[in-house]
């Protein structure tokens, strides 16, 4: 007596379903395991890819000068990047830690005298009355003022300690990222081919165009946002160091953050200019004022030159990417987040325009 065909079909479907479930489960476990193992390296690898894409035109030009010796060109670029990027970062880190130590020693030395506030402060809009009251309290009773500001001081101190702790790890991640970028540059042809195959596998015929768009966006944003921020940071640090502004390392680091967030270094330079006019002679103060205006506005010239045309990304995307990247992966995420989110935004807008031709 033969079995019912419906029963055989049901049994076969059940076996196939069980087998597919087991395979998918094993695959998910393997993917999760691989992710757990490689998770500490994701940030440096992504940052290495960004660096490699951003400087690849330099590699191509250097390759021509060296007669096509790919390994030598990649090695020279890696060494130059280590010197140009890591050395200033190490100096900035050392200055930042010294400034934090000096600030801690100053606070531990005991209360210091604060001059009474000018009467005009009370007339400032919004913050004038409360600032005048707190300033006046600090000039007469510093201990009481510190008690009143204790929650804010603790929050700032906690943030500064977190930054100081993560800075050393960030330098190591920078070094690893640059080494990764050198390896990727040396194998650029294979890497580009892999990216093309992967994109075509995901998006079909549009895969190649998506790879080109992502490459152009990474290169433009990395140069226009990260590159300009580093240039402004170096100029700010140079100016503050020569002018002898206290805690120059800390202000330089904050200038880097503000520049990446697209806020600009003007708040730091304005504070330094006020300090110079308060403590220095007129001629040095005026010269520093001119230098401060130059540093604060140079990004308006550099960004269009470095970022290129057709890669405009809303400031909100850069800001969210910067803050979110730093919260997610630490100091390296500060740089990765802006670029990755900008690439995602451009790819999404391209897909949206392609799906809605009338809206393009």
Longest Cα pair distance anywhere in the chain, in angstroms?
110
pTM: 0.60
Q: Which of 47-56, 111-120, 145-154, 269-278 has the highest mean pLDDT?
A: 269-278
Distance of alpha carbon 173 from alpha carbon 51, whole angstroms: 13
pLDDT at 115: 74
CA dist 356 → 37, 212, 279, 342 (Å): 40, 21, 61, 21
CB 161 within 8 A of CB 101: no
Higher-pLDDT residue of 105, 193 = 193
pLDDT tens digits along 56-109: 888 888 888 888 888 888 888 888 888 876 676 666 666 666 766 666 666 666
What are the residue boundaries of the structural domains of the chain, listed by start?
43-111+152-359
CB 188 within 8 A of CB 49: no
CA dist 297 → 42, 239, 263, 329 (Å): 35, 15, 12, 30
CA dist 311 → 176, 213, 262, 316, 320 (Å): 28, 10, 15, 15, 17
Token duo for residue 208: 């190649």
Q: Which of 95-104, 212-221, 267-276 has the highest mean pLDDT?
A: 267-276
pLDDT at 289: 92
Distance of alpha carbon 341 from alpha carbon 51, whole angstroms: 16
Mean pLDDT in residue range 298-310:
71
Distance of alpha carbon 94 from alpha carbon 88, whole angstroms: 10
pLDDT tens digits along 310-332: 456 777 787 788 778 777 766 66
Q: How many CA atoms lie within 13 A of 39 on its CB side?
A: 8
Nearest alpha-carbon partner for 278 in 314, 246, 306:
246
Token duo for residue 180: 């990764």
At residue 133 the predicted structure's pLDDT band, cuts being 50, 70 and 90, is confident
Could you report how far apart the first and last alpha carbons of the chain are, in Å? 67
Q: What is the DSSP letter of 4?
A: P
pLDDT tens digits along 20-35: 899 999 999 999 999 8
Distance of alpha carbon 191 from alpha carbon 330, whole angstroms: 27
């Amino acid at each position: 007596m033969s079995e019912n065909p419906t029963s055989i079909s049901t049994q076969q479907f059940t076996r196939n379903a069980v087998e597919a479930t087991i395979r998918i489960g094993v695959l998910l476990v393997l993917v999760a395991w691989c992710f757990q193992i490689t998770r500490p390296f994701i940030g440096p690898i992504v940052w290495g890819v960004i660096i490699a894409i951003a400087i690849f035109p330099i590699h191509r030009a250097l390759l021509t000068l060296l007669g096509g010796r790919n390994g030598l060109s990649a090695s020279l670029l890696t060494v130059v990047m280590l010197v140009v990027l890591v050395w200033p970062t190490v100096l900035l880190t050392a200055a930042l830690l010294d400034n934090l130590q000096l600030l801690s020693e100053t606070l531990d030395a005991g209360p210091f005298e604060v001059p009474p506030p000018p009467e005009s402060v009370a007339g400032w809009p919004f913050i004038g009355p409360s600032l005048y009251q707190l300033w006046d309290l600090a000039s007469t009773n510093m201990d009481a003022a510190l008690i009143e500001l204790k929650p804010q001081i603790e929050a700032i101190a906690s943030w500064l300690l977190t930054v100081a702790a993560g800075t050393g790890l960030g330098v190591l991640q920078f070094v690893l990222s640059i080494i990764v970028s050198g390896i990727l540059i040396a194998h650029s042809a294979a890497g580009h081919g892999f990216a093309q195959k992967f994109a075509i596998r995901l998006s079909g015929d549009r895969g190649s165009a998506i790879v080109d768009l992502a490459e152009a966006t990474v290169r433009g944003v990395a140069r226009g946002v990260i590159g300009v921020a580093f240039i402004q940071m170096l100029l700010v640090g140079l100016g503050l160091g020569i002018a002898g502004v206290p805690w120059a390392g800390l202000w330089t680091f904050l200038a880097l953050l503000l520049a990446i967030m697209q806020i600009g270094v003007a708040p730091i330079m304005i504070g330094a200019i006020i300090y110079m006019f308060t403590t220095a002679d007129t001629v040095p103060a005026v010269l520093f004022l001119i230098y401060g205006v130059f540093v604060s506005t140079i990004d308006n010239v550099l960004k269009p030159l470095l970022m290129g045309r057709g890669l405009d990304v809303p400031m909100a995307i850069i800001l969210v990417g910067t803050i979110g990247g730093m919260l997610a992966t630490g100091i390296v995420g500060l740089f990765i987040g802006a670029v990755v989110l900008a690439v995602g935004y451009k790819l999404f807008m391209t897909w949206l325009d392609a799906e809605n031709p009338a809206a393009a």
